[in-house]
Amino acid sequence: MRGRLGVVLSLAATLVVGGCGALATPNASLCPAPTLEPTTLPAAAGPAVTYGFLIDRAYTGDAKRSPSYPWPQLPKAALETVAGALAKLDLRPGDSVFGTWISHNSNDTREIFMPLTQVPRSAVADLPPAPEPPKAPLNQLECNDYAAKVRAYNGAAREWQTKVNETQQRAAITDATTVASFVERTQTAIRAAAPVQDPIGTDIYGGLAVAGGVFGANPGTHKLVLFSDMTDTVGNPVRPDLGQSDVVIGLYHRDDPSDQGKGQRDWESTFKTLNARTPVFLPWAATTADKVVEMLRASGR
């Protein structure tokens, strides 16, 4: 009897020592690979976008440039295009919009028909603290306890993700309402703008200086739309830095086709020297709210 008991105790000791030896083996798999519930944090908001709209109210100031499109056809068409585009842009809280006339004195603050206005930001909702994933077990004796901790974590993670998703959905609804209200107010202000013909001249560079100043004071992405035949008659020496702004030129028309082509090439070169991206020119017939929005979205936010 004593001999048999000795064999049993010896066998048990061997199993324990053997098990510990297995646990000490480098890179040994202690427990089955756990399946932790995946969780997703809300994505961080990207950079804000500032949209600038410059509209030529001296388009036929010299009475010779484009008799095909008599004043005030250009500024009126431009205002309606801007109003229509606002509803189609991917506006988000934090984005800003401004509009100014191009005249013989474009950098005069009285030429601003739509002061810089920002889409209001919503209050940031507090998220519940995310559950902490369980620490990996140190040995096989902890496997059962670890499996229980994984089950508990997964349940807490699913509950946390549900709360986060609900918070995001409520925030998205609030943001959509805020943007819609902003667009409606801004459209009303744009359509109420009343351009007065400037018979003196056209200061394109002064308008670009206004845009450059606004962009420089508002970090983020900058997008600029001009509505003009881009015939500068003032010769303002200012040359603003447009800092990689996207540029779209709409309602672009000159009665002389060769002059229109030359003007486009000249301004493409000019915008390059102003550190803007190569401008997109939209002829009169191609300038719609949808097309302007398509060009503004081409480079992303």
Q: Where are the domains of the chain?
A: 31-55+63-201+213-301
For the chain, how many residues are written?
Answer: 301
If residue 283 lies in a helix (H) or strand (E), which one and from where to where? strand 280-283
Q: Would you call 7 exposed, middle or buried from its count of C-beta atoms within 10 A (0-12, 13-18, 19+)?
A: exposed
Q: Is residue 264 very low, low, confident or very high in pLDDT (cuts 50, 70, 90)?
A: very high
Of 49-63, 133-147, 206-220, 285-299, which gets the smallest average pLDDT?
49-63
Q: Which of 242, 227, 247, 299 is nearest to 273 (CA)?
A: 242
Determine the Cα–Cα distance for residues 125 and 164; give it in Å rounded to an integer.
10
- Write the pLDDT tens digit of every residue in 230-257: 999 999 999 999 999 999 999 999 888 8
| Token pair of 274 as six digits | 């102003």
- What is the share, in percent, of the chain residues with pLDDT greater than 90? 70
**Contact present, 58 and 198 (Cβ < 8 Å):** yes
Query: For the segment 122-161, what is each residue's pLDDT rounded down to a tens digit?
Result: 888 888 899 999 988 888 888 889 999 999 999 999 999 9
Whole-number pLDDT of residue 140? 84
The structure's pTM equals 0.82
Tokens representing 275? 């550190």
Closest CA to 271 of 205, 195, 175: 205
Residue 32 to residue 293: CA distance in whole angstroms: 53
Superfamily for the 31-55+63-201+213-301 domain = von Willebrand factor, type A domain (3.40.50.410)
